[in-house]
Amino acid sequence: MGVPRAILLYLCGAALCLTVSQALQCYSFEHIYYGPFDLSNMKFLNISCPQGCSESVLSLDTGYRASVTMVQKGCWTGPPVGQMESNDMALPPDYSEMRGCRTHLCNAELMTHDVLPNLSAAPDPQTLSGTECYACVGTRPEDCTPEKSRRVQCHQDQSVCFRGSGQMTAGNFSVPVYIRTCHRPSCTIMGTSSPWTNIDLQGSCCRGHLCNGDAVNQTFTSASATSPPRAPLVMVLLLVLPLLAGSLQSP
């Protein structure tokens, strides 16, 4: 005697529901901010992820109170361990943080601008180099025209002007960036890079009052040509312990 069709459909439906209920739920979010951000009162979309959840924050700053910050939340597909390094002397100042976890809706730690260090700290002692440059950062060329830029007095050892462009990338989320600011005479760029995130910049420096306001025709150092090969640099990478803990607890 065969099993009635209705019972078979019920059992198949129950098995499907059990499979769906076991899928890991993660928050999903992608946005670009041109200043402080606060996600604490925001309602995110939920998505099902097979391996884990992730969240990342990348920020590029002029060093003179102007920044572009990328925030992403979603599924985790990266390796469980990665290289961790930092460089507080990087110019232009930038920051990258990636976090992975393996519990339901666990990617809700990076929620406010407070997770970022101060990338526009004043020099100590507060001395100036005597050079004045345009400073701006944006995701479109028109965001960073001289008309929309600030004129800033450069800090201490930053005696040349810089103009550059590149990309900020976290997983499959990528945006172009354009920047003008002060720089050191070495004009060496050290952006953050890792298997999960990347802030890639190229540009050039010039000498002279506000010389980075137009096409740089007084270039004396090409940052992309003179920079050493970029080692993976990630300012804070909080992902190893949650992932390893989840692996140890799994049967």
pLDDT tens digits, one per residue of 185-242: 999 887 776 677 888 899 999 999 999 997 433 444 445 433 333 333 333 334 444 4
pLDDT of 110 reads 93
Fold classification of 24-249 (topology level): CD59 (2.10.60)
Q: How far apart are CA 77 and CA 44, in angstroms?
A: 20
Q: How confident is the model at residue 43 (pLDDT cuts 50, 70, 90)?
A: very high
What percentage of the chain has pLDDT greater than the value 70?
A: 71
* pLDDT beyond 90 at 48: yes
- Verdict on whether the full-model pTM lies above 0.85: no
Tell me the average pLDDT across 112-116: 93
Q: What is the pLDDT of residues 66-96, one digit of tens each?
A: 999 999 999 987 765 555 455 667 789 998 8
On the 0-12 / 13-18 / 19+ scale of CB atoms within 10 A, 21 is exposed
Kindly give, in sequence order, each residue whose CB lies less than 8 Å from that of residue 57, ignoring residues fewer than 6 positions away: 69, 70, 71, 95, 96, 97, 110, 115, 116
Radius of gyration of the chain (CA): 23
3-state secondary structure of 148: helix
Alpha carbon 172 to chain centroid, angstroms = 12
The whole-number pLDDT of residue 125 equals 86
Q: Are 133 and 152 in contact (CB under 8 A)?
A: yes
Spatial CA neighbour of 95 closest among 120, 73, 77: 120
**Looking at this protein, which amino acid is placed at residue 143?**
D
Q: How many helices (H) and strands (E) does the chain have?
A: 3, 12
For residue 125, which amino acid is it?
A: P
